[in-house]
Copies of this chain bind each other. A is one copy, B any other.
Amino acid sequence: MPSQPRLDPSDILVSTTALVNSGDLEALSRHLEPLDAGLTATLLERLPITHQAIVFRLLPKDRAMSVFERLSPGQQSDIISGLQAADVADIFAGLDPDDRAWILEELPAALASRMLHGLTAKERQLTNEVLGYPKGSVGRRMSPEYVSTKTTYTVAQTMERVRAHVHDAETIYTLPVLDETRHVVGVVSLRDLLKAEPAQTIAEIMHKPAVRTAYDSDEDAARACTDRGLLALPIVDRENRLVGILTIDDAVRILEHEETEDSSRQGGVEPLRRPYFATPVRRLVTSRIVWLLVLAIGAALTVQVLSLFEATLAEVTALALFVPLLIGTGGNTGNQAATTVTRAMALGDVGLRDLAQVFRREFMVGLSLGLLLGAVGALIVGIVFEPRFGVVIGLTIVAVCTLAATVGGVMPLIARAIGVDPAVFSNPFITTFVDATGLIIYFLIAKTILGI
């Protein structure tokens, strides 16, 4: 391998520049691998600013920190501003999500935090591409404008820090407490500080912290914040070092957005991005037409199923009378189960690990509902029409309710397992599925009982 870097910095400079210009970040990352911290620092000193930022960002986490510490303060801020530049962000934004995950190791927390500081919301969004936090992660929603304190500081010292940040911090009411190496080891509230004596140390008055990593989903972090009634939740990197905070008002906004998405998708409609009256009629139509078409294609299945039994229908037309009642009841039972389980998942009460238990419970619930409704249905139809029709309707209701509740209950969990929003896969989808299978069950039972 003739292009393998040797210890001559000039050679390395040439080969690195070539790789940066080629845009092959993966090859560049491999190329940098064998260099030690000293050599990497020397290399950085000779590169133009944009190249510096790209090379620096591709270093493994440990090396990034030791290289950074070797640089002069001026070079350090060049790297930071290089990482904040729009063209550098574009380069990393172009990465495939899978590549991104393994090429971009975490940036050390101290740098990540410094990089995010003082940016506008739009600049911060660019920077998130560089930091590598995935879409939907709380890393993209957190704020770096926190006030932190240390275990060894006194209450008086911490109050000084609060006063110093009173104009720029996102919140001054919750302070993450750090040890000497930036690990989050506690939290104190401004109220705790006011309750305490000025000479007490933070270690004496701090509480156990609830934290989430920047890679956790924003919904999960938001719920951790609101469930505990926290005014701010510290966000850490994978080594439990502070990188930002999520404040309760942002948490509420995240959850509200999720609720809208869930409720919309359960109704088979894409969530609107704007208030109802600000959305043009044309946009309302497009938010609904795709789902309607998909569901109509699914419903075409019922036409197929009924075609199979057309002879049976022609012989006993009365069977057609009960079709909407039966599939309606099946659809409602399925919706109920899906609604209950989807909501329980949103609240964190039910997870993938509970699949077997949800299956068992919903099977029992569906069977119970089927027996109750089936008995009523059999009785009424038996009296109003014929007893043998009563038997057919009763048995069908039992079977359809059991099937619908079970499918409706487990479907949201299966959706989550295959990485789809549970709400997408939910009510209208279940209705369509239950319609088709319910009809098959109905006609099979009818043919057996009526001897057609």
Distance between Cα atoms of A361 and B264 in the complex (Å): 18
Contacts of A263 in B (CB 8 A): 259, 262-263, 266, 339, 342-343
Does A90 touch B at the CB level, under 8 Å? Answer: no
A303 near B321 with CB under 8 A, answer yes
Distance between Cα atoms of A181 and B33 in the complex (Å): 73
User: Which residue of B194, B259, B380 is within 8 Å of A162 (Cβ)?
Assistant: B194
User: Which residue of B291, B320, B321, B327 is within 8 Å of A336 (Cβ)?
Assistant: B291
Does A102 touch B at the CB level, under 8 Å? Answer: no
User: Which residue of B256, B306, B325 is within 8 Å of A321 (Cβ)?
Assistant: B306
A340 near B172 with CB under 8 A, answer no
Contacts of A167 in B (CB 8 A): 195
Quick one: given A252-B229, A268-B332, are A173 and B195 in contact (CB under 8 Å)? Answer: no
Task: Tell me the smallest distance from the CB of A397 to a CB of chain B, in Å.
Answer: 9
Contacts of A450 in B (CB 8 A): none
As a 0/1 sequence over residues 295 to 321 of chain A, the CB contacts with chain B under 8 angstroms (1 = contact) are 110011011001100100110011011
Of chain B, the residue at the smallest CB distance from A171 is B191
Distance between Cα atoms of A252 and B80 in the complex (Å): 38
Does A272 touch B at the CB level, under 8 Å? Answer: yes
The count of chain A contact residues (Cβ–Cβ below 8 Å) is 95
Distance between Cα atoms of A162 and B314 in the complex (Å): 82
Does A117 touch B at the CB level, under 8 Å? Answer: no
Does A357 touch B at the CB level, under 8 Å? Answer: yes
Main secondary structure of the interface of A (DSSP, over half): helix
Does A341 touch B at the CB level, under 8 Å? Answer: yes
Contacts of A432 in B (CB 8 A): 328
Distance between Cα atoms of A272 and B302 in the complex (Å): 33
Contacts of A32 in B (CB 8 A): none
Of chain B, the residue at the smallest CB distance from A335 is B267
As a 0/1 sequence over residues 28 to 43 of chain A, the CB contacts with chain B under 8 angstroms (1 = contact) are 0000000000000000
Does A199 touch B at the CB level, under 8 Å? Answer: no
Task: Tell me the smallest distance from the CB of A225 to a CB of chain B, in Å.
Answer: 9
As a 0/1 sequence over residues 4 to 16 of chain A, the CB contacts with chain B under 8 angstroms (1 = contact) are 0000000000000
Distance between Cα atoms of A32 and B280 in the complex (Å): 60
B302 near A268 with CB under 8 A, answer no
Does A205 touch B at the CB level, under 8 Å? Answer: no
Does A110 touch B at the CB level, under 8 Å? Answer: no
Contacts of A275 in B (CB 8 A): 344, 347, 349
Quick one: given A191-B172, A339-B269, A349-B275, are A252 and B264 in contact (CB under 8 Å)? Answer: no
Does A414 touch B at the CB level, under 8 Å? Answer: no
Quick one: given A252-B226, A266-B267, are A295 and B350 in contact (CB under 8 Å)? Answer: no
Of chain B, the residue at the smallest CB distance from A267 is B339
Distance between Cα atoms of A285 and B361 in the complex (Å): 10
Task: Tell me the smallest distance from the CB of A179 to a CB of chain B, in Å.
Answer: 26
Contacts of A383 in B (CB 8 A): none
Of chain B, the residue at the smallest CB distance from A431 is B328
Distance between Cα atoms of A378 and B128 in the complex (Å): 49
Does A324 touch B at the CB level, under 8 Å? Answer: yes
Distance between Cα atoms of A293 and B372 in the complex (Å): 9
A320 near B320 with CB under 8 A, answer yes
B229 near A272 with CB under 8 A, answer no
Distance between Cα atoms of A261 and B99 in the complex (Å): 43
Task: Tell me the smallest distance from the CB of A164 to a CB of chain B, in Å.
Answer: 10
Task: Tell me the smallest distance from the CB of A108 to a CB of chain B, in Å.
Answer: 31
Does A427 touch B at the CB level, under 8 Å? Answer: yes
Besides the known contacts A229-B252, A276-B349, 20 further A-B residue pairs in the complex with CB atoms under 8 A apart: A167-B195, A173-B173, A173-B231, A226-B252, A248-B248, A248-B249, A260-B347, A262-B263, A263-B342, A269-B340, A277-B350, A281-B361, A285-B368, A285-B372, A293-B376, A296-B328, A302-B325, A307-B321, A310-B317, A328-B432
9 closest A-B pairs by CB: A267-B339, A229-B249, A276-B344, A302-B324, A275-B349, A320-B320, A269-B336, A306-B321, A299-B325
